[in-house]
Structure 1
Amino acid sequence: MTNAVSTMLRGRVVTVDTVVEDGVVVVEGDRISWVGPAGSASGQIPPHTGSTILPGLVDVHCHGGAGASFPDSGSGDLMTAVRHHRSRGTTTMLASLVSAPADRLIAQTSLLADLYHGGDIAGVHVEGPFLSLARCGAQDPNSLRAGDPGLLREILDAGRGAVKSMTLAPEIDGFVRIGDALREHGVLPSIGHTDADALTTRRGVEALGEGPISATHLFNGMPTWHHRAPGPVSECLAAAAKGRIVLELIGDGVHLADETVRAVFDLVGGERIALVSDAMAAAGMRDGRYRLGPLEVTVRGSVARLSLEGDDGGTDQDANPIAGGTSTVLDLVRRAVVNAGVPLAEAVRAGSSTPASLIGVGHEVGRLAPGFFADILVVDSAFEPEQVIRRGERTQREAASWRS
């Protein structure tokens, strides 16, 4: 059940390229009809509340939340994760899978396709299985394989148009064939979980030809950028500076230092950055044991790491590979502004319009502009949600959580 929201909102309004300190957003039905300074608004406008009004956020890399996992949960639990992120302002999202046995990947893609065709998610992101064994991170090494067009075709068929993005490593056998197939079906190729050197990465980007490309969680799942062995990081940064690629950043203070986030924003700007949660089932939950595909994960201090054989949950676990995030995109926008010193409009762009454009929905979501869907996030001075509006409506569950 949903409640129609007020048709007029007033506060500090963040548009795609500026901040209107006293602005108004007018909603008619499921669309935004007007955005501008309060002094130019017509009709009886509400008082300024001190709130900040953002576009609904867009997450193109998310594995779950609130105890539910897109790679693992049954159909009855998948919406639990969607609702968790939506209640925190993510009104558009891709549901991400991880490398798994072929039958599992196909089955989960089919389940998530139902959410896509029901309008609850914007599509599916398949992270693997065509990845580097050396940089598998929290991916199941037993599920990795060379590029297999037959398996890709089965996954795409199971998705019935829902698969929108796939992560693959440029050094794998069959990379060009997989890249060509992704382009043929309008699926975004994303370079990641790779041990490639700089030249191989450059050739991979060139082989993908025209069309959007992203880098899956830049810096994570790839070699460190060394001045004598720059690897994929330097090539991805250079490609982003040329407008060729969009860089995913998990700017949660765990995957990346705040200074790294600030440096990338300074180098390429929010137009070439997509802040992604990479959240897994533990997002919004207590510390404990969870699953990420075929692997077990231990979360301690809100940091998720692989549970390796012989772990006792003690300090030794701190050296295990990071296994996804526990934040939301709103957390990343807040941290970019407050901790990394990124300008508000740039951080919001990286959490909304850039990822929306990356997955082909930037013409109707990700901006506060006339004609766009009324996907709106209203936050207080601490960047905590006061209202989350999707398609012009607010759900009862969200309203109840704000009152509590």
Structure 2
Amino acid sequence: MTASERIAVGQALTPSRQLEGTVVTIEDGTIEAVQSRAAAERSPTRTYPDGIAVPGFVDAHIHGYAGDAVSGDPDGLVNIAEGVVETGVTSLFPTTVSAPQDELVAAGAATATAVDRDHDGASIAGLHLEGPHVNDDQRGAQDPAALRDPAVEELQAVADAAEGTLARVTLAPELTGADEFIQAAREQGLVVSAGHSGADFETATTAFDAGISIATHLYNGMIGFHHREPGIIGASLLDDGVTAELITDLQHLHPGAIELALAAKGHEGCMLITDAIAATGLPDGEYSLGEMDVVVEDGTSRLVEDGSLAGSTLTMDAAVRNLVEELGLDLSRAVRMATDIPARAMELDDRGRLEPGLRGDLTILDGDLTVQATIVGGEVVYEREAAREATRQ
């Protein structure tokens, strides 16, 4: 493998248009050119005749994959990063669940270690703490024994252990101490999101003005919308400065709820996430999410205790397919919701688009929107057997 490739595809989706018969040239891990095959000066090193080149998927909210969960084990984080490339993910933000402070500190330290390791997987772009500062009434699959009010000292301890790799925190903005916590997080350059929240409209709006910029899995883990109290859902839909996470497995959200979010915010205001747990990519059965017992039936993960949805087994390629095939969304818009928009929301300016000067992160799809190959920093880290055969012809 090399960090320099010239990849010929049937189509390529750039920020502004769809190109036919394209070569994407990557030098030293960076996109050098996206041009017609006729204009390319050198022969391609790899060819996917029917492939559609899109930017590599960015998953900003993932708890696990193929048996490994986000924890204090750096090996597990690397395994997740190496596994998700088969779903087209080139950047991910490992996401914790609510847990005791020592476990969160350990997750921070593990992230710092994993980020520095060489591996054949997706870029580990930073740690995302989901909880433990969430509302017990909207906890979903968060462990009730681990929930507590926001404390700046706890945030600092995890940040210190993470050595600059802590990227994001999710909390309920109505909790005592949230204002100071949001301010401290933003001062450290962290992305702050609101989730598992019962905030009313005014509280949510004030928190958004204070620096919260993402609505964690919109609709899920939030007090319901009411026409006399639109709450945090209404505030999220109305605020152009807030990007809404959507889990498009068609289990967490009715298609109409997805269409409502798109109508209110446009596709530019919505980002796809998986919220995937360790059971993702594995058969139905009994698993865990943190300290909570989970059962997966027909691909849907629920708490054994009360049947609440517990993360998902969704993958990013399936999230995109569902928008295109089930909701009729244009492919270029669906792809942006899995690439450029989450990259921008997570304040990554070096990826998310097929554009010269950006990271050489590509996902090659076939006509059925199944992943043929995944390229991270110019290195082919995943390739389906059929795609490998095509490149030899």
Give the TM-score, by structure 1 length: 0.89
Q: Which structure 2 residues correspond to residues 4-403 of structure 1 after superposition, within 5 A?
A: 6-44=5-43, 49-71=49-71, 74-118=73-117, 120-208=123-211, 213-239=213-239, 242=240, 244-308=241-305, 320-362=307-349, 364-395=350-381, 398=383
Q: Name the amino acid aligned to 1:170.
A: P
Q: 1:313 is matched with which residue?
A: none
Displacement of 1:48 in angstroms is 7.3
Contact 1:26 1:33 (8 Å CA) reproduced: yes
1:336-391 deviation per Cα after TM superposition (whole angstroms, max 9, x unaligned)? 111111111111111001111122222x2111111111111111111111111111
Q: 1:48 to 1:93 in 2, by over 3 A?
A: closer
Q: Name the amino acid aligned to 2:170.
A: T
What is the SS of the residue equivalent to 1:76?
A: helix
Q: 1:40 to 1:268 in 2, by over 3 A?
A: farther
Q: Name the amino acid aligned to 2:371.
A: P
The CA distance in 2 between the partners of 1:47 and 1:162, in whole Å, is 36
What is the SS of the residue equivalent to 2:245?
A: strand
Structure 2 residues not aligned, in runs of 5+: none
Displacement of 1:39 in angstroms is 4.8
Q: Name the amino acid aligned to 2:225.
A: W
Displacement of 1:94 in angstroms is 0.3
What is the SS of the residue equivalent to 1:213?
A: strand
Which is worse superposed, 14-23 or 37-46? Answer: 37-46
Give the TM-score, by structure 2 length: 0.92
The CA distance in 1 between the partners of 2:219 and 2:210, in whole Å, is 22
Contact 2:294 2:304 (8 Å CA) reproduced: yes
Displacement of 1:224 in angstroms is 2.0
Displacement of 1:335 in angstroms is 0.9
Displacement of 1:10 in angstroms is 2.1
Contact 1:283 1:326 (8 Å CA) reproduced: yes
The CA distance in 1 between the partners of 2:48 and 2:77, in whole Å, is 38
Displacement of 1:207 in angstroms is 2.6
Displacement of 1:253 in angstroms is 0.7
What is the SS of the residue equivalent to 2:288?
A: strand
Displacement of 1:83 in angstroms is 1.4
What is the SS of the residue equivalent to 2:75?
A: coil
Displacement of 1:47 in angstroms is 7.5
1:53-98 deviation per Cα after TM superposition (whole angstroms, max 9, x unaligned)? 1111101000010010003x73333322211212211000100001
Contact 2:2 2:378 (8 Å CA) reproduced: no
Q: 1:5 to 1:382 in 2, by over 3 A?
A: farther
What is the SS of the residue equivalent to 2:124?
A: coil
Q: Name the amino acid aligned to 2:195.
A: G
The CA distance in 1 between the partners of 2:262 and 2:35, in whole Å, is 27
The CA distance in 2 between the partners of 1:220 and 1:402, in whole Å, is 37
Contact 1:262 1:342 (8 Å CA) reproduced: no
